[in-house]
Amino acid sequence: MWFRKDKAPRAPRDPKTTSSLGEGLFVKCDGCREALYVKEVERNLRVCPKCGFHFRMPAVERLKLLLGEGGGQPLFTGVRPADPLKFKDSKRYRDRLKDSETKTGRPDAILAAKGLIDDMPAIVAILDYAFMGGSMGSVVGEVLTRAAEQALVERTPLVIVSASGGARMQEGILSLMQMGKVSAALARLGAARVPYVAILTDPTTGGVTASFAMLGDVTLAEPKALIGFAGPRVIEQTIRQTLPEGFQRSEFLQEHGFVDLIVPRAEMRATVANVLRLLQVG
Ligand SMILES: [Zn+2]
């Protein structure tokens, strides 16, 4: 043997592959490295019972977490993706869409509904990380824009839960323009003094961070969520400096004023309801 490795190299933390519970009976916790029984973690809102590490939560479960078992009244379910660029990399975009629809049971990376968070009416939109990394294409942008527009007409607060790798490159500029479109709709909502609560979950990155995720009147985040624009390696190469420990995690962002409150999942519904009560629309 020419060389040997003493330790197996640790895979770089990739938001695409860690933090999900996976298919097996047991999962190793990213927080405490304990082997956990998957069913037990699921029953505990996908939070590690030993150390409180938050695994990713599927969009439907999150909807129920906020709006109760019924999940509210679904909105904008007819918005479907197109493939105007006929984009193809290692796979055709059209096929990626089909595969993700089969996997998640929805046409794109978002769901929206209207309902009550405890006793507070709200329009809720949730990005689905399981659908192409929660990437923001035309459908995500359109549903968020319609959600903001309906919130404005009905003077009902808007809640957006982010979980996204950023813009959807398969839609090129049509994806990037959603940043401006959604931000403009949120600006109109803000001008009419209808509250928008942003909830940031692991991971909230790229064009999503650079637009609506950071525009909340109140910004809540789950513990230790990755929140950032570019990845740490790109930043280190650009500024030629080593980044501080915990950079781009909820706690660091709160210390630096980008996040108002870090909320454990079990307290999320009550906290959002409280915030909405405090911001009550006249
Ligand atoms: Zn743990």
Render pLDDT for 34-63 as a digit per residue (tens, 0 to 9). Answer: 999 999 999 999 999 999 999 999 999 999
The structural domains of the chain, with segments of one domain joined by +, span 15-55, 57-278
CA distance 225 to 131: 19
- Strand order from edge to edge, sheet including 110-117: 73-75, 110-117, 120-127, 158-164, 196-204, 218-221, 261-262
Neighbour-count burial for 143-160, b at 16+ CB within 10 Å, e otherwise: bbbbbbebbbeeebbbbb
Q: What is the mean pLDDT of residues 102-112?
A: 97
Centre of ligand 1 to C-alpha 14, Å, is: 18
Helix, strand, coil: what percent of the chain each, to 5?
35, 20, 45
Question: The domain 57-278 belongs to what CATH superfamily?
Answer: 2-enoyl-CoA Hydratase; Chain A, domain 1 (3.90.226.10)
Residues 6+ apart with CB under 8 A from 31: 48, 50, 51, 52, 53, 224
CA distance 82 to 253: 36
Q: What is the mean pLDDT of residues 241-250?
A: 91
pTM of the model: 0.91
The yes-or-no verdict on residue 174 having pLDDT over 60 is: yes
Centre of ligand 1 to C-alpha 116, Å, is: 32
Q: What is the mean pLDDT of residues 66-79?
A: 97
Centre of ligand 1 to C-alpha 264, Å, is: 14
CA distance 154 to 146: 12
Centre of ligand 1 to C-alpha 37, Å, is: 11
Centre of ligand 1 to C-alpha 36, Å, is: 8
Q: Is the CB of residue 77 less than 8 Å from the CB of residue 114? A: no
Centre of ligand 1 to C-alpha 242, Å, is: 28
For residue 16, what pLDDT is reported? Answer: 40
Neighbour-count burial for 220-231, b at 16+ CB within 10 Å, e otherwise: bbbbbbbbbbbb
Centre of ligand 1 to C-alpha 34, Å, is: 6
For residue 88, what pLDDT is reported? Answer: 95
CA distance 63 to 70: 9
Model confidence pLDDT, tens digit, residues 130-172? 999 999 999 999 999 999 999 999 999 999 999 999 999 999 9
Share of the chain above pLDDT 90, in %: 87
Centre of ligand 1 to C-alpha 33, Å, is: 6
Confidence of residue 15 (pLDDT cuts 50, 70, 90): very low
**CA angle 224-14-213, nearest 5°?**
50
Tokens of 212: 């609506």
